Structure formats: C-alpha cells, structure tokens
Structure 1
Amino acid sequence: MSYYANHTFRCMTPKALVEQATSPAIQRFIVDGYGPVSVSGIPKIGRIVLAHGAGAGHLSDFMRQFAATLSSQGLQVWAIDFPYMQQMNEQGKRRPPPPVKKTVAHFANWYDLIAPLDKSPLWVGGKSMGGRVASLFASERRCGGVVAAGYPFHPPKKPESLRTEHLSAIVDPTLILQGERDPFGTRAEVLSYGLPSSIRLQWLTDGDHDFKPRRASGINQQVLIDEAAIVAASFVRAHQAVAAGTLCTRV
C-alpha cells in the first residue's frame, strides 16, 4: 500500500472538491494533476493554503498540530505536499527540493484551484521553506495575507545569504512566527534587518526552528506551536475585520 493510501487519502478530481470540502472533519485527497492535500476546519474567518518545510511533509507532527490549532480557531486549512515530497514519501528516500521558482509555481496552481471554492479570503503560509514559498507568491500576487512559521531568513551558519529582498514587495498583511533561537534567523539577527513595518514579528520564547525550547525554559514545543497558531488566527481575524469595516464604509 502506498504512503498516501495508508494515510486514508482518496483520489479526487479538481471539480469534485466543490462538494467535498465542506466538512469540519479532516479530509485527505489526492487531487488529479495537483497532488496530496489535507483539508480541515470550516472557514469562519478565512482559509489558508499551508505548505511544508524542506525536509518533512504536511503530515509531520509540527504541521499536523499547527493545522489542527488553526482550524480550531476558525480557519479552514488546506495543507499540501509538493511533488518532490510526494516522491520522498512514496519511495522512502530523501530528495532535495527543486529550484524555488518551480515550487512557487506549483503553490500558485493550488491557490488558483482553491480560491474559487469559497467566498472567504484565502491566505497563504507555511513552515520554513513553505513560508518562504508563500511569501514569494505573495510578493508577486495579491492574496488574503501571509503567515510564515519559522521563516528561513538565511541558511544556518550563513548569515550573509539573506532571503529577505522580496519581502518589501508584499502588499498584504504578513505575520512571521519565529523562535528566538532559530538558527535560520535569531531574534538579534532579524531585528537588525530593518524589515518593512507592514511585517509583524511574533517571537516564540526560547524556541528553535521547530519552536522547541530548552528544558530549562519551563515550557514545551507543543505549547509554543499552539501559541503560534492562536496568534496567527487572531492576526487573520483582526485583518478580516478591518477589511470588512473598510468595505462597509465604502458602500
């Protein structure tokens, strides 16, 4: 049995998603021409396309907990696996991600498929590489906003190789959830970058790249993941309220 079949994914046509993605329960599909996706929650405050990091797909413990807490707060989550990750999972062999432009293009295809399925705003986001991909997408196209968990500001031990140039081109609301000790961008490093004021930074106490704190901190990773997701949902809710108020004023 394949990896995805073993995790109860069902084959689905893009057209059939309209009728299927209306349940509060987690639903898992292999969408023809797109790949694997897990859908959870009802879009009370909005929806988000959520991409994974470079080394683990959307069924990792981090991604599953983050998605579950987001959906419990009123966001409908569409968590996807990129094609190279699907191959990794099926073959049981690690593979490097393809050039980032190719991954952004695949992400855009998912966005275009999901956006028309509901009238609620569609946000973009992800863990590490997935957050970078979402932010690159948002620097080129409008969306509800961006939520990045553990943004890879630079490769570990290569602080000179910054991945921040495109961030100033993002027009929509952007939230970066970052562990204070993240080797991809510590608190001290990131605060020195002079990021646009439109980007909100939320620091996770003593967290590393996966929001895992040291034992001496007195907190644990699960608490920080939940904290990050609750902050993210509140961020979305606040901006949707502002957008709705602006619309009413104009009308």
Structure 2
Amino acid sequence: MSEFSEQRVLIDGPVSTEHTFIFAHGAGAGMEHDFMAEVAGMIAEHGIRVVRFNFPYMIKRAEDGKKRPPDRAPKLLEAFKEVIAEYGTEKTVIGGKSMGGRMASHLADVQGLKGITCLGFPFHPPGKPEKDKGEHLGKLPLSTLILQGERDTFGNRAELESYPLSDKVTLTFIPDGDHSFKPRKASGHTEIGNRQMAADHIAAFIKEVC
C-alpha cells in the first residue's frame, strides 16, 4: 500500500471533477492546520477537488507526537511526486503554503501539470533578505500564481515589487496580510476575508490554466 493511502490524505470537494488541486503544508504545521483546512474548503466550493497530504516528517510527528524539522528537499520533492502520481488527474495544479509552495515551484517539469500556486512564498528567512530562496522563479516555465501578504516577513510588497520573475509568474498581494494573510484590525480587512480572496484567486487560476 502506498504511504499516501486514503488515511494519509484529506480530500475536499467533489469526488468526480475536472479539476484537482494538490495542496502541500508549510514547515511547521500539517495538512489539518486551520489555514490549510479553511482554504481547502473555500477552493472546493468552486467545484475543485482539493487533495491535502502530509510530508513524511509530519506523518512521523503525527504518529509519535515528537516535533522534528522538515525532511531535506529531495525527500520532500519525492513525496510530492508520489502524491501527484496517485491523485493527479488530467487537469491538475499543485501548490502549497510557504515551504509547500516552494517545493511545488521546483516541480514545474513534472509531466502533465497545468500550473503551480504558492501561498506565502518564503523568499527569504525573516530579517535575512540576503538569503534569497526564489532565484529559480525567474526561469519558471509553467504558469504560476504567487499569493503574498503585503506584510509577509518572508518577503513583503516593498521587497518584491521589483523582484525578477518569469513572465509565467503572476504575483498577487493580499491586503495588509502577514505570512498567513492575517491583516491588522485597523486595516479594515479580515483574516477570513483575505483567506477567501486567496481561495477565489486560486480557483480562478486553476480554471484558467486548465
């Protein structure tokens, strides 16, 4: 049995549909985190099948309760590919929150994928803009949507408005959002409103590229 059996994934939306979005979690929280669950549900309301999964280190954490750092990139990417192979359809877009989105952006060469979506791309560690992790985004060959909070400490609007991106990449800012799109109360925006905005953008992107 595959490591990613039905017990290892969560699926929102219709059982049978044209469009599938494979949605990877960030470094510190798994597929059941409220951000993942809420955004997945909002995307699914557009008639899109959303498949969430845990990377191997998060599966182990769920089993024994011990916190551990993320696996190295090759293992994360291999796990992502396994989920794509098992749950992907003819119209599949992949993406993820933070680290999950960064991993997705390294899989543009996987055959059959229609696009990539990154929610809060970790362009650099907070306070360390010199440690750039997005250089490859300047050469991405596949349609990609990056949704970034305007105040994201991993890459904010002021830092990114002139960032060199491939012409296949669309960078959209979530108003006053932090790394999880949460705005300040005084901004007039709400966390749920920003998450809904992100989900609506993702759904529209998926239907456009597929």
Over residues 64-116 of structure 1, what are the superposed CA-to-partner deviations in whole Å (9 max), with x where a residue is unaligned?
0110011111211110001101122222222110111210111011111123x
Identity of aligned residues (%): 40
**2: CA distance, partners of 1:195 / 1:188:** 15
Q: Does 1:76 align with 2:84?
A: no
Match of 2:11 among 35, 39, 44: 39
Paired residue secondary structure (1:137): coil
**Could you tell me which residue of structure 1 aligns to residue 162 of structure 2?**
192
**2: CA distance, partners of 1:160 / 1:103:** 24
CA contact (8 A) 1:52 1:129 kept: yes
**Could you tell me which residue of structure 1 aligns to residue 39 of structure 2?**
66
Supply the AA of the counterpart residue of 1:192. S
CA contact (8 A) 1:45 1:236 kept: no
Over residues 186-227 of structure 1, what are the superposed CA-to-partner deviations in whole Å (9 max), with x where a residue is unaligned?
011111322122211111100000111111112221111111
**Could you tell me which residue of structure 2 aligns to residue 243 of structure 1?**
none
Q: Does 1:229 align with 2:196?
A: no
**2: CA distance, partners of 1:68 / 1:80:** 14
**Could you tell me which residue of structure 1 aligns to residue 182 of structure 2?**
212
Greater fraction of residues in helix: 1
**2: CA distance, partners of 1:148 / 1:68:** 17
**Could you tell me which residue of structure 1 aligns to residue 110 of structure 2?**
141
Paired residue secondary structure (2:155): coil
CA displacement at 1:44 relative to structure 2 = 4.1
Instruction: Please give the TM-score of this superposition, normalised by the length of structure 1.
Output: 0.78
CA contact (8 A) 1:175 1:202 kept: yes
Stretches (4+) displaced over 4 A = none
Paired residue secondary structure (1:146): strand
Alignment of 1:1-251 (within 5 A): 13=1, 31=5, 36-42=8-14, 44-115=17-88, 118=89, 120-138=90-108, 140-142=109-111, 143-240=113-210
CA contact (8 A) 2:56 2:71 kept: no
Supply the AA of the counterpart residue of 1:141. V
Instruction: Please give the TM-score of this superposition, normalised by the length of structure 2.
Output: 0.92
**1: CA distance, partners of 2:11 / 2:140:** 26
**2: CA distance, partners of 1:103 / 1:169:** 21
CA contact (8 A) 1:51 1:79 kept: yes
RMSD (Å), alpha carbons = 1.8
CA contact (8 A) 2:138 2:165 kept: yes
Q: In 2 relative to 1, CA 39–217 (structure 1 residues): closer, same or farther, beyond 3 Å?
A: same
Q: For structure 1, which segment, 194-203 or 166-175, has the greater mean C-alpha deviation from structure 2 after superposition?
A: 166-175
Q: For structure 1, which segment, 129-138 or 81-90, has the greater mean C-alpha deviation from structure 2 after superposition?
A: 81-90
**1: CA distance, partners of 2:131 / 2:122:** 10
Gaps of 5+ in 1: 1-12, 15-28, 241-251
Q: In 2 relative to 1, CA 201–45 (structure 1 residues): closer, same or farther, beyond 3 Å?
A: farther
**1: CA distance, partners of 2:96 / 2:207:** 18
Task: Say which one has the larger Rg.
Answer: 1
